[in-house]
Structure 1
Amino acid sequence: MKTVLITGANRSIGFETAKQLLEQGYYVYLGCRDLGKGQQAVKQLQALGLDQVAPVVIDVDNIDSIRAARGQIKALDVLINNAGVSGGYPQSSTETEIGVFREVFETNFFGVVEVTQAFIDLLKQSAAPRIVNVTSGLGSLNRQSDPDYVHYRVKPVTYVASKAALNAYTIVLAYELRDTPFKVNAVDPCYTATDFNNHSGPGTVQDAAKRVVKAAVLGADGPTGLFFSDDNAPDTGISEW
């Protein structure tokens, strides 16, 4: 049975991603910052007959928490870096306090790097390791420079910058692992109605999770080092599904 760790998985897109992977026969380590919330999420899944799941406390902002989670997991095939923060709205490039930049980067970028580095040894033991970094179309430099992009006027600077950094990290990581069985990709779940945006997005968590799952279950002939998005906007730098 293949195993997957999903950070930030006790609600919203992370939770739905766990559900869909459980339905495909994966064993899911449901990453959460709060054990009680993780246990409640596991109970919800078990009530659906999905019992190959266990909560794992992992705060991506805390290296000790990451190391403790690593100590609990003995085998891993898929890592989904899903945990993220927005930094709040509105945000100004010239007025947003540097502490907000650091807070957002800590979760959206540095946390991903630290989690990936902590679990890379386990992933290398898998016959078909996959890393999925959950990103955003707002992190695309091409789209943010294109006035025709549907979200062109949406520019929360800390979120945009942190996701752009995440996209760059994904490209470099995939390049370094290019001659191995790894598939490393960034996936934009698209503008989805979640707590993250006060349920303002038009998309559903079910559709968002499908996009993430698609990258998690790629076969040996699947792509690596790409950014996938279903946003209907012209962008020659985006590889569409």
Structure 2
Amino acid sequence: MGDKTAEVKRALTGKVALVTGGARGIGLEICRQLAVLGAQVIVAARDETKSEAAAKELRKQGYQAMALRLDVTLKRDREAADAYLSGRHGVLDILINNAGVWLDSANAATPPDRPPSQALEKDIRGTFEANFFAPLLLTQRLLPLLRRAPAGRIVNVSSIRGSLAHLSDPASPVYPIKALAYDTSKAALNAFTILLAEELRGGPIKINAIHPGWVRTAMGSEHAELSLEDGARTAIRYATLGEEGPTGGFFYLEERLPW
């Protein structure tokens, strides 16, 4: 093994990373890639059985992984996650707010069931609970632990569908599908990213929103363009930023996206 390869594989040795929605899809692949880099990964998911199975499989492959039941929409689960991390690690280096839902239709390849003027309140509220309030409240809860890290990193898994510039541009690929609940929840998550980054600017914590791309998951559908491995790349990139890396931005790989 060359020195450069070894250096990459050791990049996150000793770091603690929590990934919400980590038991399947993009979240599981993010867990795997962080573990490959040496991180102690907390596979957090609302289905404890799936979380345990995912963590066990990672450990079988020689990585450091633990399971954590975490329904991000439940206050008691967020408090329990804080207690677990405080008691076991005393610090959190990386938080990936990946868990989210799409309730506008069957999946992101299917047109919304209703136009924005007829979107159901239950779908809008349910989407905001998972896609906006949950990552907001979890980040607030875990921020003291992130402050204890020498270089805390927060990655909010957003979407190009949260870009007001893209939603209002007829030339944008996302323009034709107007998914009110999902689109506005991700726009709100983007706004939170900006505001928290400005509050924390000048300190060691960096927070960015990312668009993973259109990925082949249950949400993205089998029609999506990207594999799970490719879909996790942007999250990994911004979870492992160096001191000179950006904060308060919105990115897909190296590309800065418009708000």
- Closer, same or farther: CA 73–139 of 1 in aligned 2, 3 Å: same
Cα pair 2:104 2:181 within 8 Å, conserved: no
Superposition CA RMSD, Å: 1.6
Shift of 1:200: 2.3
TM-score, length-normalised on structure 2?
0.87
Q: Which residue of 2 aligns with 1:80?
A: 96
Q: Which residue of 2 aligns with 1:21?
A: 34
From 22, 28, 35, the counterpart of 1:9: 22
Render the CA deviation track for 1:185-227: whole Å, top value 9, x for unaligned.
0010010110113322111110111110000000010000000
From 66, 73, 77, the counterpart of 1:61: 73
Q: Which residue of 1 aligns with 2:124?
A: 101
- Closer, same or farther: CA 27–4 of 1 in aligned 2, 3 Å: same
Partner of 1:201, secondary structure, is coil
Shift of 1:59: 0.7
- Closer, same or farther: CA 80–236 of 1 in aligned 2, 3 Å: closer
From 184, 188, 195, the counterpart of 1:172: 195
Structure 2 residue 242 is the aligned partner of structure 1 residue 219: yes
Partner of 1:166, secondary structure, is helix
Partner of 1:94, secondary structure, is helix
For 1:29, the aligned partner's letter is I
Q: In structure 1, what is the Cα distance between the partners aligned to 2:124 and 2:194?
A: 22
Shift of 1:236: 7.1
Q: In structure 1, what is the Cα distance between the partners aligned to 2:257 and 2:84?
A: 42
Render the CA deviation track for 1:132-164: whole Å, top value 9, x for unaligned.
000000100001111111222122110000000
Cα pair 2:96 2:155 within 8 Å, conserved: yes
Q: What is the percent sequence identity of the aligned residues? A: 39
Partner of 2:17, secondary structure, is strand
For 1:95, the aligned partner's letter is Q
From 230, 234, 237, the counterpart of 2:258: 237
Q: In structure 2, what is the Cα distance between the partners aligned to 1:87 and 1:230?
A: 26
Structure 2 residue 72 is the aligned partner of structure 1 residue 49: no
Partner of 2:242, secondary structure, is coil
Shift of 1:127: 0.5
Q: In structure 1, what is the Cα distance between the partners aligned to 2:164 and 2:195?
A: 16
From 158, 183, 197, the counterpart of 2:220: 197
Cα pair 2:116 2:178 within 8 Å, conserved: no
Partner of 1:207, secondary structure, is helix
For 1:63, the aligned partner's letter is K
Q: Which residue of 2 aligns with 1:156?
A: 179
Render the CA deviation track for 1:24-50: whole Å, top value 9, x for unaligned.
011111111011111111122123222
Q: Which residue of 1 aligns with 2:11?
A: none
Q: In structure 2, what is the Cα distance between the partners aligned to 1:5 and 1:12?
A: 15
Count, aligned residues: 235
Q: In structure 1, what is the Cα distance between the partners aligned to 2:72 and 2:138?
A: 7
Structure 1 residue runs without a partner (length 5+): none
Render the CA deviation track for 1:164-189: whole Å, top value 9, x for unaligned.
00001100000000021111000100
Q: Which residue of 2 aligns with 1:127?
A: 150
Q: In structure 2, what is the Cα distance between the partners aligned to 1:148 and 1:168?
A: 23
Shift of 1:88: 3.2
